[in-house]
Amino acid sequence: MSAKPNAAPEPASGRRALTLLALIAAGEAAFFLPFLLARVFRPTVLDVFNITNLELGTAYGVYGAVAMLAYLGGGPLADRFGARNLLTIALLTTAAGGTLLMTVPTLSTLIMLYAYWGVTTIALFWAPLIKATRQWGGINEQGVAFGLLDGGRGLLAAIVASLMVMLFAQLLPTDPVTASLAQLSAALRQVIVLLFAMTVCMALALWLLLPASQSTPQAEPGTPARLNLQGLRRVLRMPTVWLQAVIILCAYVGFKAVDDFSLYANEVLGVNQVEAANLGTLSLWVRPVAAVAAGFAADRLGAGRMTMLSFAAMALGGSVLASGTIAAGVYGLFLLSVVGTSLGIYALRGLYFAIMQEGRVPLAVTGSAVGLVSLIGYTPDVFMGPLMGFLLDRSPGVLGHQHVFMVLTGFAMTGLITSAVFHRMTKRH
């Protein structure tokens, strides 16, 4: 009797593939406007919006502060309502903010926009995405599920980033160095329009591809039908959840530091803004390879063990960038360091929710667990942007970038130690 559900695997596997594609598309599209734009075009964004690194970091910090509350509120929402509705609403409301960004608003308005995005991309979005992915992976394929999710997101981000750079370059003079501020502003606006359109299209695709069953979550034995905080109280008592939160925090510091790659290339290597954007995009192309490979390896070697290896790679690459040995014209060592650091950072993004299965978090309270670990783990959204801005503005040139990557290396070492404790604890059980 148990074999019957597997009698027609092709349609089932096809539906599964479409579900994952929908989650991948949603998972990255939500962050096109708030983060991908500045990650690829940071020098241009600073010029066009007439802001400093610290002021951009302040906008990020406000986003992160709002997100802290949104993570806790979004967790119970994900345990009560279905993914398709929440994710679609989140994408459409995030895209709506892009219409304001097109106007190149003042700093105060930009900060309010990031506060708004803190609600749309977190409260309505993050926990449903993680819970739906965990359901997709089942018991034995958590590494594959989260590796494919973040690897697919990385591939989508790299493709979109490359398209942005191509469009941006086409809208500027042959020699980008001669471009006026008005030309840079007009070109950046067109890139924003492209990201707005893509986000809306991804929302429509998600609604069509994600199964209707995702609109209302399946009830599980012992799971209350109404919105409540019982799941949150349950996960608060789990030591592995707290360790996972620290692991995410350390890994996310690395992810935030990726924003410095293009500015590093511009200010230290001396390349123009288009070349800097291309070098920043290189890191994004590492992401799909690293995340997918780490996810598959995690299901065979253990997610905890792979997490330790990834932190080691992040620490090694970050220490080279922090050493001050990279100067103008030293492209080879810079590229090698960017690739090595990115391998560790993006492998971790494919792992740090996959370890939830090893931590024995019940599926019924996944949303609450995601809310708690995200509240702690994503605090770099609050402090890393202002900290990077302060370090870069206080010590212009190579010294400021060294300080940024010293911070990254320190957190990588902390993550390595925490991962070792997590691995030992879960192995013992």
Question: How many other CB atoms sit within 10 Å of the CB of residue 79?
Answer: 28
pLDDT of residue 221: 45
Closest residue by Cα to residue 156 from 65, 291, 275: 291
pLDDT digits (tens, 9 = 90+) for 179-238: 889 999 999 999 999 999 999 999 999 998 887 665 544 444 444 444 456 666 777 778
pLDDT of residue 220: 47
Residues of the chain with pLDDT under 50: 1-11, 216-227
pLDDT of residue 232: 67
Closest residue by Cα to residue 56 from 30, 81, 37: 37
pLDDT of residue 229: 60
Question: How many other CB atoms sit within 10 Å of the CB of residue 113?
Answer: 20
pLDDT digits (tens, 9 = 90+) for 292-327: 888 888 888 888 889 999 999 999 999 998 987 876
pLDDT of residue 100: 97
pLDDT of residue 328: 67
Task: Round to whole Å and give the CA distance between 218 and 208.
Answer: 20
Domains within the chain, CATH numbers bracketed: 15-215+232-428 (1.20.1250.20)
pLDDT of residue 5: 44
